[in-house]
Amino acid sequence: MNRENQNEPSTVDEILRAIEEKGDTAEYIYRGESKHFEAVSSNLYRVFLERKDFNVEAEQFDIEVVQKGILEEAKKYLRRTDSDCEFLVEMQHYGGKTNLIDFTTDCFVALFFACEQFASENGRIICQRKELISPSIKEPPEPINRVVAQKSIFVRPSKGFINPNEDDVINIPANIKVPMLEHLQMAHDISTETIYNDIHGFIRYQNDHLEAYVAFYRS
């Protein structure tokens, strides 16, 4: 998706305004990506997409068949739940490969994800109209701290990816990622600590804490 357009939003205020204007016209869910990936896809689909020896466009490829096999194996290790959707959400929570795409009902949370990594690359916000993909939308089956904090909602695409309308993808220039993160923390209390508010989030960013301790003792 080539978003090189001199008229596209390029400041924090312009991006916030563009998202707000979309929200006024329909009910949207949002996904933030820290760089422009080849497709808006599940992490399971990307495993196959990135393999040089595999053609995901081959007619015989069915990601739901793959998902079913993985799910049956995973059930041996995960706690008992009431539905396959619960299993998949829990796998996703622990960093497993599933055919779920993380979205959020909160555009500010999506903006955080669009800015948190790859500081030198443009990010993007996918604004997806709910009514266009309603059969694929899966609500979180039970509260998980991080799912609640991120106001998560999941899309389970039959082909492993979705094709959002071009005008529903908003580019986030690399040079405003830091100002956007500062705005989100000041105005909406959205930060690494509030988004990754569980032990898995702490472990993910443990090196940051360790560096702080090193700096403290060196001083």
**SS3 assignment for 44-56:** HHHHHHCCCCCCC
Quick check: is 203 in a domain? no
Residue 158 has pLDDT above 80, yes or no: yes
Q: Are strands 169-172 and 40-41 parallel, antiparallel or unpaired?
A: unpaired
Total domain count, the chain: 1
Which of the four pLDDT bands, split at 50, 70 and 90, describes residue 178?
Answer: very high
> Cα–Cα distance between 50 and 44 in angstroms, integer?
10
At 92 the three-state DSSP class reads: helix
Q: Is residue 211 part of a domain?
A: no
Q: Do the domain assignments include residue 108?
A: yes
Q: Are 110 and 32 in contact (CB under 8 A)?
A: yes
Residue 142 placed within a domain = yes
What per-residue confidence (pLDDT) applies to 213?
60
Asked if residues 169 and 118 have their Cβ atoms less than 8 Å apart, the reply is no
User: Is residue 215 situated within a structural domain?
Assistant: no
pTM of the model: 0.83
Give the pLDDT score at 35. Answer: 93
CB 180 within 8 A of CB 12: yes
Range of the domain at 41: 12-189
Average confidence (pLDDT) over 36-62: 88
